């Protein structure tokens, strides 16, 4: 079975209110909040894909800090997918998106909003890494 390789971003920003996580609405089910992700293009690294997909889907430019967790694997409509997520620190933001709604949520609210258990697990891992980064 062919595996579709994807990469995505766990994007964060910090301000006076604390750390916030970026979520976008899923295209196939707009009631679901998800982490931005997409297909790795030929000649592109997973890290570059995570940054590009974050920019395309949410208008957020960022710096990829490193991988978070093991690749997530799932089957959907008869195809097998593998997604590697990267922790991304927001560097700038615009209103340009691919038509999806986007929103920034405090960590605990992001945990409640994401649709999949695996995404919650990744967010918990990301929180530990972010807290270790911040002075």
Which residues are CB-neighbours of 132 under 8 A, at least 6 positions away? none
Mean pLDDT confidence for 8-33:
92
| pLDDT surpassing 90 at residue 74 | no
10 Å Cβ neighbour count for 85?
27
The residue among 28 and 50 whose pLDDT is bigger is 50
| pLDDT surpassing 70 at residue 46 | yes
Q: What's the CATH number where 89 sits?
A: 3.90.79.10
Which residues are CB-neighbours of 98 under 8 A, at least 6 positions away? 56, 57
| Overall number of domains in the chain | 1
Q: What is the mean pLDDT of the chain?
A: 92
pTM of the complete model: 0.93
| pLDDT surpassing 80 at residue 34 | yes
Q: Tell me which residue range forms the domain holding 18.
A: 3-133
Angstrom distance (rounded) from CA 84 to CA 67: 7
User: Do residues 60 and 21 make contact, with C-beta atoms less than 8 angstroms apart?
Assistant: no
| pLDDT surpassing 90 at residue 116 | no
């Amino acid at each position: 079975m062919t595996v579709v390789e994807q990469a995505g971003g766990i994007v964060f920003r910090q301000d006076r209110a604390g750390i916030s996580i970026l979520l976008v609405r899923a295209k196939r089910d707009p009631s679901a909040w998800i982490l931005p992700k997409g297909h790795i293009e030929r000649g592109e690294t997973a890290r570059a894909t995570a940054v590009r997909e974050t920019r395309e889907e949410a208008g957020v430019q960022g710096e990829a800090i490193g991988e978070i967790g093991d690749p997530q694997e799932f089957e959907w409509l008869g195809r097998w997918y593998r997604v590697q997520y990267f922790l991304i620190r927001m560097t700038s933001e615009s209103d340009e998106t691919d038509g999806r709604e986007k929103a920034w949520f405090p960590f605990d609210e992001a945990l409640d909003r994401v649709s999949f258990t695996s995404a919650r697990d990744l967010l918990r891992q990301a929180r530990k890494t972010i807290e270790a980064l911040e002075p």
